[in-house]
Amino acid sequence: MFTIRHYSKRFLTRSIIFRPLSVGITNRQKTNEEFQPTINLIKEDLHLINRDILQHLRCYEEELNELAKYHFDTKGKLIRPMIICTMARSFNQQEDNFLHENQRSIATLGEMIHTASLIHDDVVDSSDRRRGKPAAANRWGPRKAVLAGDYILGIASIMLARIGNSDVISLLSRVIQDLVRGEFMQLSTKESDAEQFQDYLNKTFCKTASLFANTCKAVALLGNLSNININQLADYAYEFGKNFGMAFQLIDDLLDVTATDDDLGKPATADLKLGLSTAPVLFASQQFPELQTLILRRFSESGDIERALELIDQSDGKARTYHLAEQYANEACRILNNFPQSLNGSNRFLKFLIYLTQSTLKRRH
């Protein structure tokens, strides 16, 4: 499904000087001053998105109301709406400061689909914590949590239908389909190591990159760029989102074996505990074949997780995972070269997308 092209980093280094920072925009983070006006615009978008989510989810059933809104708090990184709004604005070149209501709706309902999937995921994974607090399933029980996820999905579907564009409806429906396929895929482990890595990449696309890819394409189609190549440009937006999403998830998988519970706001080494093999352990198994036995029995025996972590540490699994994330991130940035110059020549949204892409490689949670 994926071909990673090897190419030089010249494009990145000549475009911008990157500083390490986390992805979310918060006041305490140092950001490149060049981006401050852009960040202020996107922050305003995020504020409206948060407001819209709470308004749309409102219902008369008090407990459902509370439960549905529970995970939409300030602890989320909001990286999805941030990328979607920035991509959307880059497609509105006639009016540099403009974000169409339908484009903002995509960011809003994209975040709703994502959060609904996390609420369900915590039930599937029997996970107690999410975004630094008890998971909804932990507080209300799995039955109510699943229903709340369904409810959020229902509201997101109404918003999607109101946009009234059948291509966009297909793209966002594909996201939901992929989320379920990805979650389903990880319930079993492939026999051979070659199959395991391909399965891991496919699952990563489905669970994470598909949402970035399809929402980026949707806002591109909903933009006001008058260009006869709009379908081609929308495909580039998709490719950007796909590569960004792959890089984002690879870093997530790396953090799972390097960060602490507190850093993540959820239990670390959760993947191994769930029996899941992600890039660090799959790469490590190429150096230490004894890991295959542990991978195939999904780290189910006492001492398996500790041994896997030891071998990951001794291997170059973490470095190779980071390197692969870097390749996807570089590819995401390279694709932005295909986008047209903005009318005022600033290309500030494209530069900000590059900045966010590089920042995702440096994040700590």
Residue whose pair of structure tokens reads 């297909």 in the numeric block: 170
Instruction: Report residue 69 as tokens.
Output: 């809104």
Can you tell me the distance from the alpha carbon of 346 to that of 97, in angstroms, rounded to the nearest whole number? 12
The correct pick among 16, 48, 64, 124 for binding ligand FPP (CB under 6 A) is 124
Q: Which residues, in sequence order, are bridge partners of residue 133?
A: 130
Binding mask 256-285 for ligand FPP (x = CB under 6 A): ----------x---x---------------
The answer to whether residues 336 and 353 touch, using CB atoms and an 8 Å cutoff, is yes
The correct pick among 34, 128, 183, 193 for binding ligand FPP (CB under 6 A) is 183
Q: Which is nearer to Mg ion, 126 or 260 (CB)?
A: 126
Contacts of 180 (CB under 8 A, 6+ apart): none
Q: Which stretch binds ligand FPP (CB under 6 A): 7-15, 112-120, 232-240, 350-358?
A: 112-120
Q: Which is nearer to ligand FPP, 46 or 116 (CB)?
A: 116
| 44 to 38, 39, 40, 85, 86: CA distances (angstroms) | 10, 9, 6, 10, 12
The answer to whether residues 128 and 135 touch, using CB atoms and an 8 Å cutoff, is yes
Tell me 226's DSSP state. -
User: According to the binding rule CB under 6 A, does residue 147 interact with ligand FPP?
Assistant: no
Would you tell me the crossing angle of helices 279-287 and 193-204 to the nearest 10 degrees?
160
Q: Which stretch binds ligand FPP (CB under 6 A): 114-122, 214-222, 321-329, 332-340?
A: 114-122
Q: Which stretch binds ligand FPP (CB under 6 A): 23-31, 159-167, 174-182, 223-231?
A: 174-182
Burial 201-220 (b: 16+ CB within 10 A, else e): bbbbbbbbbbbbbbbbbbbb
Shortest Å distance, C-beta 149 to ligand FPP: 5
Can you tell me the distance from the alpha carbon of 234 to that of 202, in angstroms, rounded to the nearest whole number? 22
Q: Return the one option of Mg ion, ligand FPP, none that residue 172 interacts with (CB less than 5 to 8 A, by type).
A: none
Q: Which is nearer to Mg ion, 125 or 199 (CB)?
A: 125
Neighbours of 322 (CB within 10 A): 19
User: According to the binding rule CB under 6 A, does residue 334 interact with ligand FPP?
Assistant: no
Q: Which is nearer to ligand FPP, 77 or 266 (CB)?
A: 266
Supply φ then ψ for residue 204, to 5 degrees: -65, -40
Q: Which is nearer to ligand FPP, 196 or 342 (CB)?
A: 196
User: According to the binding rule CB under 6 A, does residue 116 interact with ligand FPP?
Assistant: yes
Can you tell me the distance from the alpha carbon of 160 to that of 211, in angstroms, rounded to the nearest whole number? 14
Residue count at the site for ligand FPP (CB under 6 A)? 19
Shortest Å distance, C-beta 335 to ligand FPP: 23
Q: Which is nearer to Mg ion, 124 or 309 (CB)?
A: 124
Q: Return the one option of Mg ion, ligand FPP, none that residue 113 interacts with (CB less than 5 to 8 A, by type).
A: ligand FPP
Shortest Å distance, C-beta 225 to ligand FPP: 30
Residue whose pair of structure tokens reads 């998971």 in the numeric block: 135
Shortest Å distance, C-beta 51 to Mg ion: 28
Can you tell me the distance from the alpha carbon of 220 to that of 200, in angstroms, rounded to the nearest whole number? 28
Provide the binding-site residues for ligand FPP, judged by CB under 6 A: 113, 116-118, 120-121, 124-125, 127, 149, 153, 176, 179-180, 183, 207-208, 266, 270
